[in-house]
Amino acid sequence: MRVLRQIHARILTRVLPISTLSFALSKIAAFCALSPLGDIYYARRVFSLIPNQNIFSWNSMIRGCSLIENPSREPVYLFRKLVKRGYPCPNSFTFAFVLKACSIVTAFEEGRQIHTRCLRSGFGSSPFVQTALVNFYAKCEHIGLAKMAFDEIPERNSVAWSTMISGYVKVGLFNEALGLFREMQKAGVEPDGVTLVSMISACAGAGALDIGRWVHAYMEKQMIDANLELSTALVNMYARCGCIERAKEVFHEMPVKDTKVWSTMIVGLAVNGLSEDALEAFARMEEAKVKPNHVTFVGVLSACAHGGLVSEGWRYWSSMLESGIEPSMEHYGCMVDLLCRAGLVHEACNLVEDMAVPPDPVIWRTLLVGCKKNKMLDRGEIVAEQLLELEPLNAENYILLSNFYASVSQWEKKSQVRKKMKEKGIKAVPGCSSIEVDGFVHEFAMGDWSHPETEELAKILKDIAERVREFGHKPWISNVLHNVVDEEKESALDEHSERLAIAYGLLKTKAPAVIRIVKNLRVCWDCHEVTKIISKIYEREIIVRDRVRFHKFVNGTCSCRDFW
DNA sequence: ATAGGGTTAG
C-alpha cells in the first residue's frame, strides 16, 4: 500500500490525458478493493475521484466491498446507485458480483429483485450469472429456487454442478447431494477438487462411509492434490463416519496443519468419545504453535463434557479467557452441559446467571435436561418457563418437558403440556435414521413402513423384539405416553427409527460388517439398552451417530459407558 | 488496455 500511495501521488502531480488518468486511478482503486494487501477505505476514496467511472471500476468496488471481513449490503447499495444513474451500463460481471454479495449477506429480497433485473437486461444466459444465481438461492437456503435456476442451465460445467451439490450440503440434504453427483457422472462431467470437497462433506453429513472411501480413492486415482481443504474434509468425513483411525491417518499425513484441521481433529476425537485423545491433540496443537480459536475451544470443552472432566473443563475455560477469546453462546453451552452431566446443576445455573448476554434456547434446554436427569422439579419448571417464553413453537421443548414430568410421575402436568402442544398445533420433528447399503443411503422415519422391503423388515423386527425380550429386557415405558395400554407403549418404542435402520442393516449385511447408523435426534435410553443387547445376541458391531456424538456398541456394551 | 462463478472445522 505504501508504494501504491507513492504512485498515486505521482500520478496526481502530472498532467495526464483524462482517459489515461481515469485508467490509472481505476487500476489503483481495483487493487485497493480486491487485493488482500489492499485497503477498502482507500479504494472508496480513489473510486470517488475517478473521472468518468466506467463499469470496470464499479464492478471492482462491488466485488471489493463483498470481500471484506464483515461485509454489509454496501455492494447492493452501490449497484442500486449505478442503476439509478443509468450509466455506465451493468454487464454480466456486475450481476455475478452483486449476486455473490447477496449470497454472502443472505440478502434474499434484494437478490430476487436483481435476478428479475438481470433477466430483463438479457444477462440470464451468462454461465457465470447462472451459477451465481444457483449459489445465491442456495446460500439463502431457498433450495427449490436454487434447483430451478440450476435446471435452467443448458450447459453445466463442473462449477455449476459443484455449486448445486454444495447447496444441498448447506441445507443438510446430503442424500440429494449424493444423488446429484451420480447425475453429474452420468452427464459425463469430470468432478474436480472442489466438487470432491462438497461430496466428502455430503458423505460426512450422511455418514456414508463407503461412498466417502470411494471419493478418497477416486481422488488418488485422478491424482487430485490432497490440499488443505480436501484433507480437512477427509479428516472430518472419517471422524463423522466413526472411522477415527482413518481420520487420524489422513491428519498425520498432512504436511501443513492449520487451525481448522486441528479443530476438526479435536472435535472428531471428542464426538467419538475419545476425550483424553482430544485434549492430548490440543496439547500437540499448542506445541506446534498453531493458534486455537473459538471453534477449537468448542471441541476442547465438549471433549471435557463428554468425558465428565469437570476440573479440566474449568482449566480450559480459564485458558480460553486468558488467550483473549470471548466466550460465545456455544462455549457457555459446553460448560453448562459439562456441569449438568456431572450433576452440578446449581453451578451451571450460577454460570448462566453470570452471562453477559441473555442465554439462548440451547442453554435453557441443556439446563432443563440437567434438571430432568437430577430430578430437580422446581428448578426445572423455572427453566422450562424461560425456555418456552423464548421458543414457544419448538416441539422439542414440549416433549422434553413432558418427558421430564413423566420421569417424576407428574402425569397431570404431563398431559397439560401435551394438551398445550396440541392446542398450538405444534408437531414433533420425527425421528429419522439412515444407513448406507451398497452405495445408497436408506432413510427410515419413526413408524414409517413405506420402505419397499417392508415385509422382510417386519420379520426381523419381530425377531429382534422377541430375542430382546427373552434376554430379559423390560422397556422403559414412561418415556412414551403413559395413557396408552402397556403393549402399545412397547410397540411405539420398537418403532423408533434407529431400530428400523438396524433391522435393515441386519437384513442386508453380514458379519463382520459393521452396522453404521446416523440419527437426527439423540438416542433414547430404551433404544440404547436394546442396541447393546442386539450387538450381543446378533454378534454385530453397531455404530450409531446421534445428533451429538457416537455410540459404538460391541458385545453388549457401548463406548459411551452409558454416559451421554 | 482491465476481471468472473463452486470448496474445509462447531
Domain carrying residue A549: 432-558
ω into A88 cis (within 30 of 0)? yes
Written as nine digits, the cell of A3 is: 508504494
Q: How far apart are CA A312 and CA A317, in angstroms?
A: 8
- Checking if the pLDDT of A491 tops 60, the result is no
Chain A residues 451-510 with Cβ under 7 Å of strand B are none
Q: For residue range A517-562, what is the model confidence (pLDDT) as tens digits? A: 999 998 988 899 999 999 999 999 999 999 989 999 999 999 988 8
Start-end of H helices in A254-393:
259-271, 275-287, 294-307, 310-322, 329-341, 345-353, 361-373, 377-390
- Checking if the pLDDT of A476 tops 80, the result is no
* Distance CA A100 to C1' B6 in A: 11
Q: How far apart are CA A125 and CA A122, in angstroms?
A: 7
- Split at pLDDT 50, 70, 90, the class of A488 is very low
Give the total number of structural domains in chain A. Answer: 3
Q: How far apart are CA A23 and CA A408, in angstroms?
A: 76
What integer is the mean pLDDT of A195-199?
Answer: 97
Written as nine digits, the cell of A386 is: 424461560
* Distance CA A39 to C1' B10 in A: 31
Are A441 and A551 found together in one domain? yes
Q: Tell me what pLDDT residue A363 has.
A: 94
- A155, A177, A202: which is the final residue of a domain? A155
Are A458 and A545 found together in one domain? yes
Please tell me which of A27-41, A204-218, A434-448 the model is most confident about, judged by mean pLDDT. Answer: A204-218
Is the residue at A522 inside a domain?
Answer: yes
Q: Which residue is nearest to nucleotide B10 (CA to C1')?
A: A295
Are A81 and A117 found together in one domain? yes
* Distance CA A134 to C1' B7 in A: 15
Is the residue at A239 inside a domain?
Answer: no
Q: Tell me what pLDDT residue A334 has.
A: 95
Q: Tell me what pLDDT residue A302 has.
A: 94
Is the residue at A146 inside a domain?
Answer: yes
Q: For residue range A64-106, what is the model confidence (pLDDT) as tens digits? A: 999 998 999 999 999 999 999 998 999 999 999 999 999 999 9
- A155, A183, A217: which is the final residue of a domain? A155
- Checking if the pLDDT of A434 tops 80, the result is yes
* Residue A216 Cβ < 7 Å to strand B: no
Are A499 and A543 found together in one domain? yes
Q: Which residue has the higher pLDDT, A296 or A9?
A: A296
- Checking if the pLDDT of A267 tops 60, the result is yes
What integer is the mean pLDDT of A475-486?
Answer: 51
Are A60 and A145 found together in one domain? yes
Whether A289 contacts A259, CB under 8 Å: no
* Distance CA A482 to C1' B6 in A: 51
* Residue A402 Cβ < 7 Å to strand B: no
Q: For residue range A142-175, what is the model confidence (pLDDT) as tens digits? A: 999 999 999 999 999 999 999 999 999 999 999 9
* Residue A204 Cβ < 7 Å to strand B: yes
Q: Tell me what pLDDT residue A73 has.
A: 95
Is the residue at A279 inside a domain?
Answer: no
Is the residue at A108 inside a domain?
Answer: yes
* Residue A206 Cβ < 7 Å to strand B: no
